[in-house]
Chains A and B, each alone.
Chain A
Amino acid sequence: MHPIRKQRLQIVLLIVVASSIAAGLMAYMLGQNANYFFTPSQVLQGEAPVDVRVRAGGMVVDGSIERSTDSLDVSFLVTDGLANLKVTYSGILPDLFAEGEAAIATGELDKDNVLRASQVLAKHDENYTPPEVADAMNKAYEVKQKQKSESQSYEAIR
């Protein structure tokens, strides 16, 4: 074979083999490391898998932050307006973490629907709400509106 053709063929073969291996690995690793986001309602309805790394978030419920007296263990509730999800965490919370503010926790759910968080993200700027949380709140708001109008029509019928 012509040396340049041969060289080209080798390169093409190399690329094909390498990229198929890479694509396979990448798909596998993405599957392993993709952390899905769930709203508190979805978690409590059992849509989120147990003992798999997931993310969940919403607004931190007023008065729900409980600190341990002798360690950095902390627990709090996050809500999307419909359901409250309990989150436990050990360590320092971010500066902008506060009651009534948005937070996203990453961690694993146990059987009692408590999220053992290994990371808690709060917003980074006062005027910013993470899109996931904004979305969850909107969804919950729509559900509430629907329920309200349903109950109103029910009352009207009565």
Chain B
Amino acid sequence: MIAELGHFALIIGLCFALMQSLVPMIGSFKGYSSWMRLGYSLSLGQLFFVAISFVCLVCAFLMDDFSLKYVSQNSNTDLPAHYKVSAVWAAHEGSLLLWALILAGWTASVALFSRALPLVFSARILAVLGAISVGFGLFLLFTSNPFERLLPMTPLQGSDLNPLLQDIGLIIHPPMLYMGYVGFAVPFAFAIAALIGGQFDSAWARWSRPWINLAWVFLTLGITLGSWWAYYELGWGGWWFWDPVENASLMPWLVGTALMHSVAATEKRGVFRSWTLLLAIFAFSLSLLGTFLVRSGILTSVHAFAADPERGVFMLMFLAIVIGGSLMLFALRGPAMQKVAAYQGLSREAMLLINNVLLVSSMVMILIGTLYPLVADVLELGKISVGPPYFNFFFVPLSMGLVIAMGIAVFTRWKATASALLMSKIPLPLIIATASGIILPFVLRADSYVGYSVTAGLTLFLTAWLLATIGIDLKDKIGINLTRIAKLSRSYLGMQLAHSGIAICVLGVGLNAAYDEIRELRMAPGQSAMVADYQFDFVGVNRVSGPNFEAYRGQVNVLKNNAPVANLFPEKRQYNAGGQVMTEAALDPSLARDIYVSMGEPLADGAWALSLQVKPFIRCIWLGGVMIGLGGLLAATDRRYRRRKKPSPIMECNNG
């Protein structure tokens, strides 16, 4: 009964979305203000019904209604209640419903917070969002209905949630990521509405900035969480694999980052208008592509779960309509949007242009590396996968370029920067950075005298460079009186926080690449092994049972200079429901280093295959990620976005 209610609510939600995509749009062309205003209430109605539908699915999971195919495939009576809830978005159907719910949520908030915009414009934004909802609603109902019944062959027990997904990280990671993916629908709708109306001015750019920031914040946190989850849950201690699915989330992030920076220039100086619109289209298109790649299962990846090619075809068509349609519109209207404003080679505009070029190049390189296997397969060139060296070869130098440019950019001004100013600012951070790059590796590692790590040196150079430039700029703004920090605008502070986050993240990535030590070896109880400065004593293995699994629990005592550091208990679990085996790594975390122990398989004579790892500064990667996200959030709450003001006439900056 509840499932039918959910199904029915979803259909009503789809009807609302259909109305929402048509009525305000037609109204905007005919000039019927009542039709245009209907968009607000339709979007709230859509949210209401999609939410009911979602709650129904959650209830079906909590009540173990295994007559629903989706529930029976992804849940089990033994599953703890919070995992039953998160199992709702563990597979394809439910995660699409979550997608639809989040989209309805973003749409409704646009409806609530866009009253200051001209009616014609906000009506069109809502209509575009409605059209996207229609696409997803149809997709849900026709190819992936989570409310499909298994009658009369109702199973008594469900086949369980994949144990890898039974984890706190997986409760939060997908919703965060989707908030980000779907959030880019708002700037997309904004861009389409602007293109239809043929008008795009600074006030509208200002209106879209907090939306772009928010979507980007969610995506940042979602990617960070995903990387953290993969690190401790997949059991091999890596944090990024250049896997197609990871790439699929990184691409919209890179374009979203470019968009955030280019829309800043559009708002302040009226430059890069059509470029900004194009980026908004790409950010959302790549989000859709990401959903497509994850859910169609066409690529071999560590994330590839059971797949259905028919869905892939629908998704591909949807993708083609969205990307093709919006690019067509852009081709017709985009060039007319461009307003010319001159700026010099040494200006903030130019630095933002460099930022955009580097970010978009990274994205293109990742896109080609990710899609090349697909294209090759279609062209029958063979089945190919592209290895991490390809991605690292391009991404590392491009990121280095970004970090260096970021440091210079804080000292630049709009329109033109006196080169004397830059020449006076740059030497100090450059000296600090060079000194750090040369000296700090010796402080971190005594053995640097034998083998100085260039990777570590470069990393410390970049981190110190970025932090020093940020520090100097802060000092220029507020002097040494730290209480004056409250006087700075939130968007400025947010920027600096996010940029510091990049510095911290780079530190983690680089030092981990330079100093990370891994040993995989066979150990019998009572044996010891040394990794870096740490001694690992393998005590032995016990049998333990959890709520829905049996496990071997090993004990490894870690010592440094004969002083105990930690006692670690990695597990090898076997889940009762599906019999799936899973490694549960044990770690002793700290900011300076993680000690990571995971169990491989049992070998003869009570010995085990063990993976012992010491990973310096790896936490900085996610700490940096969180700082980047919080920086974006801080910037999104800047006071000037909250001012309710009618849009001002187009800012003229034709000084060419």
Which A positions have Cβ atoms within 8 angstroms of B?
Answer: 3-4, 7, 18, 22, 25-26, 29-30, 32-37, 53, 55, 67, 69-72, 90-93, 95-96, 104, 106, 121, 124-128, 130-132, 135
Given contacts A30-B368, A34-B372, A92-B520, contact A124 B384 (CB under 8 A): no
A131 to B368, CA, bound (A): 20
Contact A22 B387 (CB under 8 A): no
Secondary structure call for the A interface: mixed
Interface centre among B368, B578, B580, B601 (most CB of A within 10 A): B601
Contact B306 A127 (CB under 8 A): yes
Other than the known A95-B580, A126-B580, what 11 A-B pairs have Cβ atoms closer than 8 Å?
Answer: A3-B656, A26-B365, A30-B372, A33-B387, A36-B382, A95-B235, A95-B582, A104-B300, A106-B385, A121-B300, A125-B304
Contact A130 B304 (CB under 8 A): yes
Residues of B within 8 A of A7 (CB): 342
Some 23 contacts from A to B, beta carbons below 8 A apart, are A3-B342, A4-B342, A4-B656, A22-B361, A22-B365, A26-B365, A30-B369, A34-B376, A37-B382, A37-B384, A37-B385, A70-B522, A72-B520, A72-B522, A91-B600, A92-B520, A92-B600, A95-B235, A124-B303, A128-B297, A128-B305, A131-B297, A132-B300
Question: Does B604 belong to the interface (CB within 8 Å)?
Answer: yes
Residues of A within 8 A of B492 (CB): none
A34 to B361, CA, bound (A): 20
Contact A93 B382 (CB under 8 A): no
A125 to B582, CA, bound (A): 11
A37 to B357, CA, bound (A): 34
Residues of A within 8 A of B539 (CB): none
Given contacts A26-B365, A121-B302, A131-B298, contact A55 B164 (CB under 8 A): no
Q: Which of B578-615 contact A (CB under 8 A)?
A: 578, 580-583, 598, 600-601, 603-604, 609, 611
In-complex Cβ contact of B304 among A4, A32, A124 (8 A): A124
Contact B389 A32 (CB under 8 A): yes
Given contacts A26-B394, A71-B522, A130-B304, contact A95 B583 (CB under 8 A): yes
Contact A132 B304 (CB under 8 A): no
Least Cβ–Cβ distance between A96 and chain B, in angstroms: 7
Contact A125 B306 (CB under 8 A): yes
Residue of A nearest to B391 (CB): A33
Contact A92 B611 (CB under 8 A): yes
Residues of A within 8 A of B376 (CB): 34
Question: Does B162 belong to the interface (CB within 8 Å)?
Answer: yes
A4 to B522, CA, bound (A): 68
Question: Does B340 belong to the interface (CB within 8 Å)?
Answer: yes
Tally of contact residues, B, Cβ under 8 A: 50
Least Cβ–Cβ distance between A12 and chain B, in angstroms: 13
A70 to B580, CA, bound (A): 27
Interface centre among A95, A104, A135 (most CB of B within 10 A): A95
Contact A29 B393 (CB under 8 A): yes
Interface centre among B300, B302, B303, B578 (most CB of A within 10 A): B300
Residues of B within 8 A of A69 (CB): 603-604
Least Cβ–Cβ distance between A81 and chain B, in angstroms: 18
Residues of B within 8 A of A36 (CB): 382-384
Contact B386 A72 (CB under 8 A): no
Identify the 3 closest CB pairs spanning chains A and B, nearest first: A92-B600, A37-B383, A33-B390
Contact A35 B303 (CB under 8 A): no
Question: Does B63 belong to the interface (CB within 8 Å)?
Answer: no
A53 to B368, CA, bound (A): 20
A26 to B368, CA, bound (A): 9
Interface centre among B298, B307, B382, B521 (most CB of A within 10 A): B382
Contact A124 B164 (CB under 8 A): yes
Residue of A nearest to B299 (CB): A131
Contact B394 A29 (CB under 8 A): yes
Residues of A within 8 A of B520 (CB): 72, 90-92
Contact B600 A93 (CB under 8 A): yes
Least Cβ–Cβ distance between A101 and chain B, in angstroms: 11
Contact A35 B386 (CB under 8 A): yes
Least Cβ–Cβ distance between A127 and chain B, in angstroms: 5
Q: Which of B372-402 contact A (CB under 8 A)?
A: 372-373, 376, 382-387, 389-390, 393-394
Interface centre among A26, A53, A71, A92 (most CB of B within 10 A): A92
